[in-house]
């Protein structure tokens, strides 16, 4: 299913499509890219030249943050709902709730619907 997700890449304005940050003082890499490249704390104050752009990861084209968030919202919400339902089933079983059968019926229907959506063979590309 991950093959059907399309990425809209735009020219990276931070590195001007080169993939290398030169936005710091005298053409060196900027502080944000130094941090993104995980330079050790003691060496961050030195001048670094030629580090990968932190905005695009060094490919010269970036995907907007809102677009990445929109693509990840549905799967993360589905994972959260499934985990909450499993937790609800587990605790209602431990506490011997008189409503266990109703909780189980509701939770399994919801979990089954989510699993069916993500594991169906229908490749419409609407994910």
- Residue 100 sits in which domain range? 65-119
Q: Is residue 21 domain-shared with residue 56, that is, in the same domain? A: yes
9 and 59 co-located in one domain: yes
Domain match, 91 and 58 both: no
Mean pLDDT for 95-106 is 94
Determine the pLDDT at residue 89: 95
Q: What is the spatial distance between Cα 73 and Cα 62, in angstroms, rounded to a whole number?
A: 19
The pLDDT, as a whole number, for residue 112 is: 93
Q: Output the pTM of the full model.
A: 0.56
Average pLDDT, the chain: 82
Residue 79 lies in a domain: yes
Question: Is 124 among the domain residues?
Answer: no
Domain shared by 56 and 10, yes or no: yes
Structure confidence at residue 43 (pLDDT): 65
80 plus 54 within the same structural domain: no
The pLDDT of 40-49, averaged and rounded, is: 70
Q: Is residue 127 situated within a structural domain?
A: no
Count of alpha carbons within 13 angstroms of residue 32, beta-carbon side: 11
């Amino acid at each position: 299913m991950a093959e059907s997700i399309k990425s809209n890449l735009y020219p990276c304005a931070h590195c001007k499509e080169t993939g290398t940050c030169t936005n710091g003082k005298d053409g060196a890499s900027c502080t944000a890219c130094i941090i993104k490249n995980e330079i050790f704390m003691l060496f961050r104050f030195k001048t670094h030249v030629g580090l990968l752009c932190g905005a695009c990861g060094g490919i010269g084209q970036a995907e907007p943050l809102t677009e990445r968030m929109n693509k990840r919202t549905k799967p993360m919400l589905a994972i959260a709902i499934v985990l909450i339902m499993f937790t609800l089933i587990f605790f209602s079983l431990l506490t011997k709730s008189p409503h266990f059968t109703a909780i189980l019926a509701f939770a399994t229907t919801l979990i089954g619907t989510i699993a069916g959506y993500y594991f169906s063979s229908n490749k419409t590309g609407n994910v």
